[in-house]
């Protein structure tokens, strides 16, 4: 249990790096939700737009993360600070699951319910806020959960460009050829991902329509 001892001895640094990691994941997920959920709602209500939007998000997803970091480095304001860059890249990667799940969640609402609502005289906005969104919340959250788990993983790579976070332990450990340091980064990162998966998953289940 060398690793455990190492983690305990260096708990301040572990905590610090974990907070840095959360900083990257937190901001990027927040931005991805701010952009992705409204976008998902928009394409759910106007299906004609769905192909270009989903296709773009898909393309972004296929770019390897390290490559995307590399692309963005020369960009003036962004590339100057690697944490800014990392947050942008992580936001982009989080978009697809969030947009897609928002779209699927809203389209997946029972059509009979939507028809009844419309026939009752609910406006499009009322239908959205009172009926479709509450019923889609669980699916949307599932997209957020996927986004968070992906982000926790990608944020470890962000350390390669100097954005900090638990990945820094991993890269430093590799340079030092020291397993304990590598694991001191890898284990908390894995635990963060599991925690996020569990936590958001719990919320999903609570909000699932009966």
Partner 1 sequence: MSGLSLGEALIANQTGPDGIVSSWGVALTPVCCAEMESGAANPVIEFRDVSYRVDGTQVLCSLNLEVARGETLVLLGRSGSGKTTTLKLVNRLVTQTSGEIFVNGSRHSEVDVIRLRRGIGYVIQEVGLFPHFTVAKNIGLVPKIEGWKEERISGRVSELLQLVGLPLEIASRYPHQLSGGQRQRVGVARALAADPEILLMDEPFGALDPLTRDELQRELFLLQKRLHKTVVFVTHDLREALRLGSRIALMEAGKLVTVLAPSEFLKSDDPWASAYVRAFGDGLESAANRGAS
Partner 2 sequence: MTLSKASLGALILWLVATLSCSPSHGSRIVVGSKNFTESFILGELIAQQIESHSNLKVERRFYLAGTYICQQAMLAGRIDIYPEYTGTALTAVLKQNAGSDKAEVYQQVKSEYERRFGLTLGPSLGFNDTFAMEIRGEDARRLNIQTLSQAARFTPHWRAGFGYEFMERPDGYRGLAATYGLHFAEPPRIMDLGLLARALKDHQIDFAGGNATDGLIPALDLFALEDDRHYFPPYEAVPVIREQTLQQHPEVAFALAPLAGMVSDAEMRQMNYAVDAQKRDPSDVVREFLRVKKLVP
| b/e sequence 178-190, b meaning 16+ C-beta within 10 Å | eebbbbbbbbbbe
**Per-residue CA distances from 131 to 41, 153, 176 (Å):** 13, 34, 56
- Per rule CB under 8 A, is residue 8 in the interface with partner 2? no
CB 40 within 8 A of CB 100: yes
Nearest residue (CB) to partner 2, 154 versus 200: 200
- Per rule CB under 8 A, is residue 16 in the interface with partner 2? yes
Question: Per 3-state DSSP, what percentage of the chain is helix, strand, and coil (rounded to 5)?
Answer: 90, 0, 10
Positions 108 through 127 that interact with partner 1 (CB under 8 A): 110, 112-123, 126
CA-to-CA distance for 153 and 141, rounded, in angstroms? Answer: 18
- Per rule CB under 8 A, is residue 160 in the interface with partner 2? yes
Least distance from C-beta 50 to partner 1, angstroms?
A: 20
- Per rule CB under 8 A, is residue 135 in the interface with partner 1? yes
For residue 165, give the 3-state DSSP assignment.
coil
Residue 108 interface partner, choices partner 1, partner 2, none, CB cut-off 5-8 Å depending on type? none
CA-to-CA distance for 200 and 7, rounded, in angstroms? Answer: 26
Query: Which residues make Cβ contacts (< 8 Å) with residue 14, sequence separation at least 6?
Result: 7, 169, 184, 188
The site map against partner 2 for 24-43 (x = CB under 8 A) is -xxx-xx-------------
Residue 201 interface partner, choices partner 1, partner 2, none, CB cut-off 5-8 Å depending on type? none
- Per rule CB under 8 A, is residue 210 in the interface with partner 1? yes
HSE-CB at 193 with a 13 A cutoff on CA atoms is 16
Residue 197 interface partner, choices partner 1, partner 2, none, CB cut-off 5-8 Å depending on type? none
- Per rule CB under 8 A, is residue 163 in the interface with partner 2? yes
The DSSP secondary-structure symbol of 22 reads: H
- By the criterion CB under 8 A, which residues form the site for partner 2? 12-13, 16, 19-20, 22-23, 25-27, 29-30, 80-83, 134, 137, 141, 160-164, 168, 171-173, 175-176, 199-200, 203, 206-207
């Amino acid at each position: 249990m060398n690793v455990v001892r190492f983690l305990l001895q260096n708990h301040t640094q572990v905590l610090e790096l974990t907070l840095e990691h959360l900083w990257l994941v937190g901001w990027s997920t927040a931005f991805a939700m701010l952009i992705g959920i409204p976008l998902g709602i928009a394409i759910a209500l106007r299906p004609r737009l769905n192909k270009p939007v989903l296709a773009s998000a898909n393309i972004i997803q296929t770019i390897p993360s390290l490559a995307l970091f590399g692309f963005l480095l020369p960009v003036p304001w962004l590339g100057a600070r690697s944490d800014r860059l990392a947050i942008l890249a992580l936001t982009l990667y989080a978009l697809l699951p969030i947009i897609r799940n928002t779209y699927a969640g809203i389209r997946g609402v029972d059509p009979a319910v939507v028809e009844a609502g419309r026939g009752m005289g609910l406006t499009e906005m009322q239908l959205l806020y009172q009926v479709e969104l509450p019923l889609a919340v669980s699916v949307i959250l599932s997209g957020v959960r996927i986004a968070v788990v992906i982000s926790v993983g990608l944020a470890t790579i962000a350390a390669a460009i100097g954005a900090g976070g638990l990945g820094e332990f991993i890269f430093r450990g590799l340079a030092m050829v020291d397993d304990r340091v590598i694991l001191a980064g890898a284990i908390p990162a894995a635990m963060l991902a599991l925690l996020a998966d569990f936590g958001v998953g719990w919320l999903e289940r609570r909000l699932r329509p009966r």
